[in-house]
Chain A
């Protein structure tokens, strides 16, 4: 590996070392294990959104729908069908991905603000279904009466319910697979094509690239990954309520992506970490914490439009 390669790999190495060693250093900075799990889960959701926003150039304001579908899919599977964490995760992911794949063709021809508005509209449809269908989803009271269950591997059983560190590593493993797939896709010719579409859609079209089809695939992948995050989120809370599908949740994902830097792969992870930790810390100090989170976001957007990671990158480059 040349020194150039090493420099390129440096951010990846730093991120993975920090994440893998999290249980060792988090307690010393006043954190607790579930905070780490929450950062990783929401980071996965923000990175999934960024696959679409940062690398395809399409802004979705309705990703909470697929996040929530993943969450309800996982929760309802464990509650009603099969008492198994693994099956719950799988079904949650499938539900979100299939919903995304079906809704995709209806919206991919739209661009810009129209695309964002229609994604919100579809998200609200799912929100109201979850909110109103009391007998199945528990409505506003949320889906209760279930918990994540120990994972049986044949030779051993991992108690992810009572051992927060074990659960963190489950989350991290799923995160690694999902992020790995996204990174691999972005390095492939398919990923390069997406970036070409982002940079200049008309030129891509003239080059003979089936743009709508590419956006549809990108959208479906993004929905699938965000529903993985949703399923993990349900397992993290042992609870799902319609708020997970609400448009403010979509807004939070966009904020995380923009905060961290939507042109960089790890940006949304940084954004999610800042968002979650800031919220966790400030809201214990003052009840006006939302003003501070908002102010911070405004400052970042005004002065560092490429996000936190954008500034660091520029520093390294100069």
Chain B
């Protein structure tokens, strides 16, 4: 190059480069306040589980505000770091978990809504020895066959949900059950759990269908189900499949002839249903309308102030998980995962966190939270626009949880 001159082109390029540098610089300068206690949330913010993931995030944020207002964790400020795990990519979820642990040096790991991702993250947490709390991934294995000393779970196992709903269904609706089950691991485990609970309570299975994921036309399954003459049709389909199945069941007039029911149901899902399809008996894991239970009204009011909507079970999962971190550290007077995990054995959440009539505790040797479960039915219209569920039975956790041996968890602690 003999002489230096600026052409228009190189000027544009320089401008573009400067622009890129602006965006890229935070990547280089990622130093965060070192004296904060960090809680890393690796949860879906995009994809199928975005809505429930965001509700968990809101619960976490409220908990962080409350923790800091009450003196923080071991006198230090609590900070929430949020990463999008995506709704289905285990590789991304694992990578984000490692990013939070290795680079951001978090003290607690939270996540994930998706059971598979929660299991994958639990693997990372076990490898790194970080205290991990799963707010909302339901597969039994997390606190069952693949349990770890440092992995705790707030939401219920699928078996607990099955055990909770069964007695009242048998009593109120009848003993002959028919299953409409999505054909993948989640559906299979849930159906197996319900069959077990049903048989224990004297019920029988009169038939069942496995429906491929993404089924839009359930008419053939519904006709078959009707022909089997059951007392109860159990819908275990999720998401859009559930919406389609329930809508078509109503069109067939099945809700007038047979009792419709299922296991886990969420406020987010009921909001997505047309009013006429809000039917059936279900289990909620937490509900905002609990008259007479102390502190619930304040929690609902605070969430409403933040978002304008009532909290869902997911909001509570995030809230309880984050508070568990603070309570574990403050109780153990340590941020060492082993000390905190030991402190959480048979640990009862205080009433202002548990927000349930009988409270909730982490069962020793399994690390599973044993809360109340709410059995009731979906309703087209309730006392308020957000009141889409009518609780009829509040089941005590220990009655639904089964024994520790049944969970299949054999916990080994680090030497």
A: which residues have CB within 8 A of B?
A: 28-35, 38, 131-132, 134, 138-142, 144-145, 147, 161-162, 164, 233, 236-241, 243-244, 279-281, 283-285, 287-290
Contact = CB atoms under 8 A, between A and B. Distances in A.
A141 B123 CA distance: 13
B116 interface: yes
B184 A139 contact: yes
Interface in B79-110: 82-84, 86, 88-92, 94-96, 98-99, 102-103
Nearest to B102: A32
A145 B409 CA distance: 13
Contacts of A237: 90-91, 94, 120, 123
B11 to A, nearest CB: 17
Given A32-B102, A34-B98, A141 B116 contact: yes
18 contacts: A29-B27, A30-B28, A34-B99, A38-B91, A139-B188, A140-B116, A141-B119, A144-B119, A164-B102, A237-B94, A237-B120, A241-B90, A243-B90, A280-B99, A283-B84, A285-B26, A287-B46, A287-B84
B367 interface: no
B146 interface: yes
B29 interface: yes
B141 interface: yes
B181 interface: no
A281 B27 contact: yes
Given A30-B30, A35-B99, A139-B185, A238 B123 contact: yes
B346 interface: no
Contact of B127 (A140, A162, A233): A162
Nearest to A292: B23
Given A138-B185, A237-B91, 12 more contacts: A30-B27, A134-B184, A134-B185, A140-B116, A141-B185, A142-B116, A144-B123, A147-B127, A237-B123, A240-B90, A244-B90, A288-B46
Contacts of B49: none
A147 B116 CA distance: 16
A145 B123 CA distance: 8
Given A237-B91, A239-B94, A141 B139 contact: yes
Contacts, number: 111
B22 to A, nearest CB: 13
Q: Which of B26, B120, B186 has the most chain A CB within a 10 Å cutoff?
A: B120
A144 B95 contact: no
B223 interface: no
Interface of B: 26-30, 45-46, 50, 82-84, 86, 88-92, 94-96, 98-99, 102-103, 115-116, 119-120, 123-124, 127, 139, 141, 145-146, 183-186, 188
Contact of A140 (B29, B145, B186): B186
B116 A33 contact: no
A281 B96 CA distance: 10
Contacts of B89: 243
A31 B103 CA distance: 7
Contacts of A244: 90-91
B146 to A, nearest CB: 5
A33 B102 contact: yes
Given A29-B27, A32-B102, A281-B27, A142 B84 contact: no
B95 A35 contact: yes
A233 B90 CA distance: 11
Nearest to B98: A34
* Shortest Cβ-Cβ A-B pairs, 9 listed: A139-B185, A239-B120, A287-B45, A32-B103, A140-B185, A34-B98, A142-B116, A30-B30, A237-B94
